[in-house]
Amino acid sequence: MDHSVLKVALAQIAPIWLDKSATIDKVIQWINKAGAEKADLVTFGEAILPGYPYWVSLTDGAQFNSKIQKEVHAHYVKNAIEINKGDLDGICKAAHSNNIAVYLGTIERAPDRGNHSIYCSLIYISQKGEIQSIHRKLQPTFEERLTWAPGDGNGLQVHGLKTFTVGGLNCWENWMPLSRTALYAMGENLHVAVWPGAKRNTENLTRFIAEESRSYSIGVSGLMRKSDFPDHTPHLELILENAPEILSDGGSCIAGPDGQWILEPVCNQEILLTAELDFNRVLEERQNFDPAGHYSRPDVTKLTVNRQRQSIIEIND
């Protein structure tokens, strides 16, 4: 086995929106598809399990004390994953049986924060089917703040995969220079940026991150069309009233360590994209620039990262 070559898969799919059980089944199907392609890593878009909160911007989500907003939010929370209750066991089993690592965008109910607030969490599952990090999005963006809670630094972690060191961030976190820098400093050389799905986000930032870090850069997106809303969605008629035909158009892509395209953005298709990445290209491009190595000046500028999981309570029995 050549450990310097990594086969990656980008699962650009739509969720069974806000239906946790059905979306878990669909994610497992696509993990199996990636496994059949002999991929070492499969990536999914932001919040794919069970879906992005599209209703907020379509139904006057900032209206205070709205019964409609409360009911849709409650439905969302009930369909968020509860890791402590085994919601991801089937996905972990699929990862293990296919010998494939998984980066999965989720909405997480957090028992260490009372179990009622939800977090946009990017989860890394190893090839052995073990959950190795849960990164709760540090700063929800704009209307997302009406439904997601802000996370912490606990999930700012990287993972060894063959010769590679893999890390990832959610959506607009990828615009945060210090969050990117934290991963670079931990040795990241394959960056996974997960998005709900918009070429406008992936087409520039994917290449920029690759060139800035001299790493491989994956932009993996979800897909969402008007036809993807299940009939049992609360207040579906109101949500669809102002919804465009395509809410998330994908745009999944891969750039190499020189910032050039390996796979240009693909839009409006539910598709599994694959590519083989050669680790030697990372070493070649680090020859003239390495942001955390020979081109850094820790005696002048240095980053401090707090990776403690935050909680409102500390119990001492």
Listing DSSP states for 122-154 in one string gives: EEEE-TTS-EEEEEE-SS--GGGGGTPPP--GG
pLDDT band at 6 (very low <50, low <70, confident <90, very high): very high
pLDDT recorded at residue 1: 65
Nearest CA among 17, 42, 38 for reference residue 28: 42
- Sign of the CA dihedral running 61, 63, 67, 68: negative
What ranges make up the beta strands (E) of the chain?
A: 5-12, 41-44, 101-109, 118-125, 131-136, 159-161, 164-170, 190-195, 216-221, 223-225, 246-255, 261-267, 271-278
Residue 218 has pLDDT above 70, yes or no: yes
Catalytic residue selected from 20, 26, 46, 267: 46
- 171 as an active site residue: the answer is yes
Nearest CA among 77, 133, 140 for reference residue 110: 77
Residue partners of 283: CB distance under 8 A and separation at least 6: none
pLDDT recorded at residue 236: 96
How many C-beta neighbours within 10 Å does residue 244 have? 10
Catalytic residue selected from 120, 171, 253, 267: 171
pLDDT band at 207 (very low <50, low <70, confident <90, very high): very high
d(CA 166, CA 221): 18
Catalytic residue selected from 20, 26, 137, 162: 137
Nearest CA among 126, 143, 144, 124 for reference residue 134: 124
Average pLDDT, the chain: 97
- Sign of the CA dihedral running 212, 202, 149, 13: negative
What is 5-286's CATH topology?
A: Nitrilase/N-carbamoyl-D-aminoacid amidohydrolase (3.60.110)
Beta strands at 101-109 and 41-44: parallel, antiparallel or unpaired: parallel
Which whole number is the average pLDDT over 113-119? 96
Which whole number is the average pLDDT over 92-118? 97
- 284 as an active site residue: the answer is no
Which whole number is the average pLDDT over 207-227? 97
pTM of the model: 0.97
- 276 as an active site residue: the answer is no
Question: For 281, what's the count of Cα atoms within 13 Å in the CB-facing half-sphere?
Answer: 21
Strand arrangement of the beta sheet that strand 118-125 belongs to: 131-136, 118-125, 101-109, 41-44, 5-12, 271-278
